[in-house]
């Protein structure tokens, strides 16, 4: 028999300042985060269409979204020794709502990021550029924590959303690296250091590929202008 999973939402609620016998407040908060995801995704859909008017191709290849699971939220609060309250979730966890934008070229990433941040209702909370400053393992991506308004029936709430920008090559490497490193218990492998080195080499090769393809695009665009 499979082990029954604990009801994390039920464990969160008793720690609120105003305890409730149900998990409704938590579900409401998750709904607000879903609304924030929809707001941000719509912004990118509009930018993609508008930018395509001035280009021969769209800058966005795909958009992925995700909402952090209750298990993951609860675990993160515990690891950080944070209060198990809804207020604590909103004030300390900025990656509950996530939007990942996959672009063709690195140049498109910065172009889109700046276009997003110029919008009046978008507030930048945090920026981490792992493209210009890759992580030690080779990971590359541009991460933004932004705050956007969601317009509800009787109120407007500002919600935080994590936005990740990657090229196709960056996303390919990150997805496979995650599967190899965490799904196969790589840490217990006796060849861990060598495998980690090879994965980082692959990341560097993917970065070279991005620059190479971007240079080719520049040559093609330059030839069209002549």
Residue 149: which H helix or E strand, with range?
strand 142-151
Work out the mean pLDDT of the chain and round it to a whole number.
87
| Geometric angle at alpha carbon 126, from 124 and 132, rounded to 5° | 110
Tens-digit pLDDT profile for residues 165-210: 999 999 999 998 887 776 556 666 677 788 888 999 999 999 999 9
Please give the span between the terminal C-alpha atoms of the chain, in angstroms, as a whole number: 70
pLDDT band at 89 (very low <50, low <70, confident <90, very high): very high
Q: What is the pTM of this model?
A: 0.85
Burial class (CB in 10 A: 0-12, 13-18, 19+), 144: buried
What pLDDT does 225 receive? 54
Tens-digit pLDDT profile for residues 17-47: 444 434 889 999 999 999 999 999 999 999 9
What pLDDT does 118 receive? 97
């Amino acid at each position: 028999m499979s082990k029954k999973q604990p009801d994390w939402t039920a464990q969160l609620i008793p720690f609120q300042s105003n305890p409730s016998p149900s998990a409704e407040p938590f579900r409401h908060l998750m709904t607000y985060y879903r609304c924030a995801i929809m707001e941000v995704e719509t912004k990118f859909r509009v930018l993609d269409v508008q930018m395509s008017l001035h280009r021969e191709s769209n800058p966005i290849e795909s958009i992925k979204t995700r909402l952090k699971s209750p298990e993951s939220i609860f675990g993160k609060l515990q690891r950080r020794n944070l209060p198990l309250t809804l207020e604590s979730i909103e004030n300390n966890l900025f990656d509950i709502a996530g939007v990942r934008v996959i672009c063709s070229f690195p140049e498109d990433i910065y172009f889109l990021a700046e276009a997003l941040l110029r919008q009046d209702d978008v507030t930048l909370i945090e920026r981490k550029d792992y493209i210009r400053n890759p992580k030690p393992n080779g990971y590359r991506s541009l991460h933004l924590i932004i705050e956007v308004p969601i317009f509800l029936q009787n109120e407007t709430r500002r919600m935080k959303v994590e936005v990740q920008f990657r090229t196709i090559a960056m996303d390919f490497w990150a997805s496979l690296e995650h599967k190899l490193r965490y799904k196969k218990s790589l840490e217990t492998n006796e060849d861990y250091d060598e495998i980690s080195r090879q994965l980082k080499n692959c990341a560097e090769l993917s970065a070279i590929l991005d620059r190479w393809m971007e240079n080719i695009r520049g040559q093609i665009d330059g030839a069209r202008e002549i």
